[in-house]
Amino acid sequence: MDFVEKSIQKVNQLGAGGGGGTDSKYFQTTKKGEIHELREELANPKMEKKKEAVKKVIAAMTVGKDVSMLFTDVVNCIQTVNIELKKLVYLYLINYAKSQPDLAILAVNTFVKDTQDVNPLIRALAVRTMGCIRVDKIVEYLCEPLRKCLKDEDPYVRKTSAVCVAKLYDINGELVEDQGFLDMVYDLLGDSNPMVVSNAVAALAEISETSELGQKVFQINTSTLQKMLAALNECTEWGQVFILDSLALYCPSDGREAESIIERVTPRLQHANSAVVLSAVKVMIKYMDLITSQDTLKALYKKMAPPLVTLLSSEPEIQYVALRNINLIVQKRPTILAHEIKVFFSKYNDPIYVKMEKLEIMIKLASERNVDQVLMELKEYATEVDVEFVRRSVRAIGRCAIKLERAAERCINVLLELIQTKVNYVVQEAVIVIKDIFRKFPNRYESIIGTLCENLDTLDEPEAKGSMIWIIGEYAERIDNADELLESFLESFDDETASVQLQMLTATVKLFLKRPAETQKMVQDVLTLATQDSDNPDLRDRGYIYWRLLSTDPEAAKQVVLAEKPNINDDSFTLDPSVLDELITHLSTLASIYHKPPSTFITGRTRMVPTLGGGAHDDEYEESDANITSDMMDGGMGGAQAAPPAMPAPSAGGLADLLGLDDEIAAPAAGGGGMGGAASLAPPGMADLFGGPPAPAPAAPSAKVVLPPDRGEGMQVRSAFVAQNGRVFQQITIENHSPAPLSGFAIQYNKNSFGLVPESPGALGQVMPPQLAPGQSHTGLMPLTATGQPQDSKGHVQMAIKNNVKVFYFQDQCDVLAFLSADGRVERGAFLEQWKSIAQEAALDVQGIGPANENVDSLCPKLEASNVFFIARRKLDGGADMLYFSVKTLNGVVMLAEIGLRPGQGMGRVVVKAQQTPYVSLLAESLKAKLLS
């Protein structure tokens, strides 16, 4: 009530301004007893009075007041010829029907009547509103009127009805399927009116996104394709977006088809509406994968670059969307914008979020040709006021150096100039990136260490301090007063953060190994500080190890601590190719802005498998963006970093692994200043202290690495799909190559061709130990079910594994043979009948079949073992051997196969037919592989 009154007061004060409306008066009559008064006014037989009253009700609703108690009174006004009053009542209904489902039924009669009105506006209004009243009981009454309106003579009614089918599907999908509405909408694709066509496209696209039937709802074939392309030229700009977005989901059969569709889509690049342009770009980039001719590609690049650049002249919000998309486009097709780097230079008045995105793209486009210009710009940015932007700009200089070896020196010079500005955060960022450059190009630019050392006092952030200390330790032999410098840092040892302390410890040990004479006392002090005074287990452990190493075998210590470090690359900002491809098909959508596949942030009802850890992903996005700089550190620094942040205390078993007793993990796990490579060097006496190496479970030979450790931040994943006892399992081997224990494993599948999902959300956790110590590996057999909804037919299974570090995305290919059920034998008569009724679906010629596989007697048992069942055999006159098989997938798709062999020639042919076609080509491929195995 207060709220209402306040806003009314405000309106009163301001009076009636604006565009001449006087509606504000309806906000004014709110006082005690209002509801009662309104009720009386609503019952007034005079239409004008009634309308005034309804307006007051809507006004109250607008300011957030609950007027649902007037439901009956308002609905009683519905039978009117006055369209304005009708609209108001409908508006009220949309808002309150859900809270008064029983009363909403009262309105049904009027709705049904209105769908037969002479005025198409009213017919459409009724259909539109009915669909918005999400009350189950109403839905049943909707069907008949909707059926009529889908065939209405007026296109305005038809275009509204098409969307209504999508609404209805959202409320009750089964009903829509049973009533045959899907076919009716599908028919509308051939409508003579372009807006009807585009709305039908939108409705079908939406339904196929949510439906159990998946893409079957909206299969684009040659004839629908032509209809859509024809409508593309004539429909509204929004309709063009609907059509283009659907085209982006279609997979052309070959390069020629792709090219011809692109040709029809290209004119859209000239549309004034940026959404049309971006959707057209999406279709083109996706289809380009099928085009092999370099000339064609070059011509397309030339056409796409100017419209992309023009997007940067639009409103900043659109620019932001465009830049996030261009970031992906530049990764997928770097050539398109290779010569346009200047358009990504920041303008003074760009919003900061635009500047940040431009910066990212600048680095991606930086090349030896343009690096001087880029550096000039970055230097300019480093003098701006926004601290975060300045920091990123300085880091960008370092990333340029790491990316472009020949420009590294110029980058260093710019950084040195920036250090001279003495601006605190500029100097700190510069030190951090210089450390990365030293890592990347050792023994090249050490002459600048002197300048760095002049700025020690400026450093007050842990990351910068740690970097400087690392540099001092690494180049201790070049810095005359390295001991003094370190000493000065050590004074505040207790006050430093854990990461800085670890760096101090390692740096001091390095210094000692290089100049033992003067620094003996110092190293002893540090080791004491680390092992006795500290309560940080990481620090203590590392201290003990150093101590023992040093006391047992200083030579071994040297080899361990001063070992060569693995190379670093600036690839931390590039996406995995499979993820990139997926994101490209989602250009212009939210996925392309978050740079995450939709399944990771959509928690829809039927569409997606449950997400990992509930809302964790949202936070993850926020976090990953906010901490983008520290992400870079992880990737850029690799082994140079003292210890990953928040490393949990290792158990006794973990200690063994810290030393890298397992040969296999030694090299990549060079954390802690080169601890790796110690395996063979560890003195025998230490074995009993640390215990023996853990025995990793051997991975199956066929399991391939789907996530290499450099992408998994130390976690390596092997995967294989295996069939056992009529069930599918994913055999997952996780190896920990990182210096820290991994834990909290969880897995999630994206929608895939087989509808495969882990049997339970925690399936991976059940077959994996709660924690994997560094160097440890474990293999688990995770049961899968085929209860998800299948998508596309490529056989990919995209998945994400989450651990205590973050979420990693990768994919594996599942052989359809692993997905067959044991009851796939079809009775011969039925086989014959089906075989005849289906036209040829997928056929493959095979050459180079080995003699064993040409022999039917040895081939059949082999196939039967994979649940490919032998049905019949036929010998042809020419000596050819025709074999017939049947299979049934775990989700119930029956397929028939014919294998024709010409014994002695090593040649054959595989033909696969099925009523439901998603797997025919996969099965053909698999059978071919079997023949060649």
Residues 245-274 that bind other proteins (CB under 8 A): 245, 264, 266-268, 270-274
Nearest Cα residue to 147 out of 169, 125, 164, 129? 164
CB of 378 to other proteins, least distance (A): 12
Task: Please check whether residue 753 is in contact with residue 795, taking contact to mean a CB–CB distance below 8 angstroms.
Answer: yes
Nearer Cβ to other proteins (592/853): 592
Give the contact letters, 98-127, x = binds to other proteins (CB under 8 A), - = no.
Answer: x-------------------xxxx--x---
CB of 5 to other proteins, least distance (A): 14
Q: Does 441 bind other proteins (CB under 8 A)?
A: no
Q: Does 792 bind other proteins (CB under 8 A)?
A: no
Candidate list 4, 65, 76, 94; residue touching other proteins; CB under 8 A: 94
C-alpha 885/C-alpha 897 separation (Å) is 5
Q: Please give the C-alpha separations between residue 724 and each of 705, 780, 866, in angstroms, as whole numbers.
A: 22, 14, 10
Q: Does 591 bind other proteins (CB under 8 A)?
A: yes
Q: Does 22 bind other proteins (CB under 8 A)?
A: yes
Q: Indicate the SS3 state at residue 309.
A: helix
Residues 533-552 that bind other proteins (CB under 8 A): none
Task: Please check whether residue 212 is in contact with residue 788, taking contact to mean a CB–CB distance below 8 angstroms.
Answer: no
The tokens of 646 are what? Answer: 């928040």
Residues 47-86 that bind other proteins (CB under 8 A): 51, 55, 58-59, 62, 64, 82-85
Nearer Cβ to other proteins (353/544): 353
Give the contact letters, 191-210, x = binds to other proteins (CB under 8 A), - = no.
Answer: --xxxx--x--x--xx----
Q: Does 11 bind other proteins (CB under 8 A)?
A: yes
C-alpha 312/C-alpha 351 separation (Å) is 12
C-alpha 251/C-alpha 257 separation (Å) is 10
Number of residues that bind other proteins (CB under 8 A): 127
Candidate list 34, 37, 52, 154; residue touching other proteins; CB under 8 A: 154
CB of 202 to other proteins, least distance (A): 5
Candidate list 516, 577, 604, 850; residue touching other proteins; CB under 8 A: 604
CB of 588 to other proteins, least distance (A): 5
Nearer Cβ to other proteins (391/514): 391
CB of 230 to other proteins, least distance (A): 10
Residues 722-761 that bind other proteins (CB under 8 A): none
CB of 81 to other proteins, least distance (A): 9
Q: Long-range contacts: 68-76, Cβ < 8 Å, 24+?
A: 68/96, 68/99, 68/100, 69/35, 70/35, 70/38, 70/39, 70/42, 71/96, 71/100, 71/103, 72/103, 72/106, 73/38, 73/39, 73/42, 73/43, 74/42, 75/103, 75/104, 75/106, 75/107, 76/42, 76/43
Nearer Cβ to other proteins (615/762): 615
Do the strands 777-785 and 727-736 form a parallel or antiparallel pair, or are they unpaired?
Answer: antiparallel
CB of 204 to other proteins, least distance (A): 12
CB of 357 to other proteins, least distance (A): 9
Candidate list 320, 544, 573, 870; residue touching other proteins; CB under 8 A: 320
Q: Does 579 bind other proteins (CB under 8 A)?
A: no
CA atoms lying within 13 Å on the CB side of residue 415: 32
Nearer Cβ to other proteins (21/684): 21
Residues 610-639 that bind other proteins (CB under 8 A): 615, 618, 621-622
Residues 858-897 that bind other proteins (CB under 8 A): none
Q: Does 593 bind other proteins (CB under 8 A)?
A: yes
Nearest Cα residue to 456 out of 486, 491, 436? 486
Please provide the distance, in angstroms rounded to a whole number, between the alpha carbons at the two ends of the chain: 78
Residue 426's contacts (CB-CB under 8 Å, 6 or more residues apart) are: 382, 390, 394, 418, 419
C-alpha 127/C-alpha 928 separation (Å) is 53
C-alpha 354/C-alpha 919 separation (Å) is 45
Q: Does 9 bind other proteins (CB under 8 A)?
A: no
User: What is the phi/psi pair of residue 730, to 5°?
Assistant: -105, 125
Q: Does 163 bind other proteins (CB under 8 A)?
A: yes
Q: Please give the C-alpha separations between residue 466 and each of 563, 642, 643, 702, in angstroms, as whole numbers.
A: 19, 8, 11, 43
Candidate list 34, 37, 52, 170; residue touching other proteins; CB under 8 A: 170
Distance of CA 927 to the CA centre of its chain: 33
Q: Does 453 bind other proteins (CB under 8 A)?
A: no
Residues 373-412 that bind other proteins (CB under 8 A): 373, 376-377, 380, 383-386, 388-389
Q: Which of the ranges 92-100, 545-553, 694-702, 794-802 carries the binding residues for other proteins, by CB under 8 A?
A: 92-100
Nearer Cβ to other proteins (59/184): 59
CB of 471 to other proteins, least distance (A): 26
C-alpha 682/C-alpha 138 separation (Å) is 77
C-alpha 607/C-alpha 603 separation (Å) is 8
Q: Which of the ranges 350-358, 638-646, 768-776, 843-851 carries the binding residues for other proteins, by CB under 8 A?
A: 350-358
CB of 76 to other proteins, least distance (A): 19
Q: Does 160 bind other proteins (CB under 8 A)?
A: yes
Task: Please check whether residue 722 is in contact with residue 728, taking contact to mean a CB–CB distance below 8 angstroms.
Answer: yes
C-alpha 530/C-alpha 734 separation (Å) is 33
Do the strands 771-772 and 796-802 form a parallel or antiparallel pair, or are they unpaired?
Answer: unpaired
C-alpha 913/C-alpha 834 separation (Å) is 9
Q: Which of the ranges 287-295, 344-352, 531-539, 574-582 carries the binding residues for other proteins, by CB under 8 A?
A: 344-352
Candidate list 180, 316, 692, 708; residue touching other proteins; CB under 8 A: 316
CA atoms lying within 13 Å on the CB side of residue 752: 27
Candidate list 186, 301, 345, 870; residue touching other proteins; CB under 8 A: 345
Distance of CA 657 to the CA centre of its chain: 33
Q: Does 214 bind other proteins (CB under 8 A)?
A: no
Q: Does 301 bind other proteins (CB under 8 A)?
A: no
Q: Which of the ranges 290-298, 370-378, 429-437, 854-862 carries the binding residues for other proteins, by CB under 8 A?
A: 370-378
Q: Does 28 bind other proteins (CB under 8 A)?
A: no
Q: Does 784 bind other proteins (CB under 8 A)?
A: no
CB of 106 to other proteins, least distance (A): 20
Q: Please give the C-alpha separations between residue 337 and each of 359, 385, 410, in angstroms, as whole numbers.
A: 15, 29, 24
Residue environment code for 76-98, b if the CB has 16+ CB neighbours within 10 A, otherwise e:
ebbebeeeebbbbbbbbbbbbbe
Q: Which of the ranges 22-30, 330-338, 676-684, 702-710 carries the binding residues for other proteins, by CB under 8 A?
A: 22-30
Nearer Cβ to other proteins (24/738): 24
Give the contact letters, 324-343, x = binds to other proteins (CB under 8 A), - = no.
Answer: ------------------xx
C-alpha 464/C-alpha 869 separation (Å) is 66
Neighbours of 726 (CB within 10 A): 11
Do the strands 742-743 and 746-749 form a parallel or antiparallel pair, or are they unpaired?
Answer: unpaired
Q: Does 175 bind other proteins (CB under 8 A)?
A: no
CB of 248 to other proteins, least distance (A): 10
Q: Does 145 bind other proteins (CB under 8 A)?
A: no
Q: Does 167 bind other proteins (CB under 8 A)?
A: yes
DSSP letter assigned to residue 482: H
Nearer Cβ to other proteins (122/784): 122
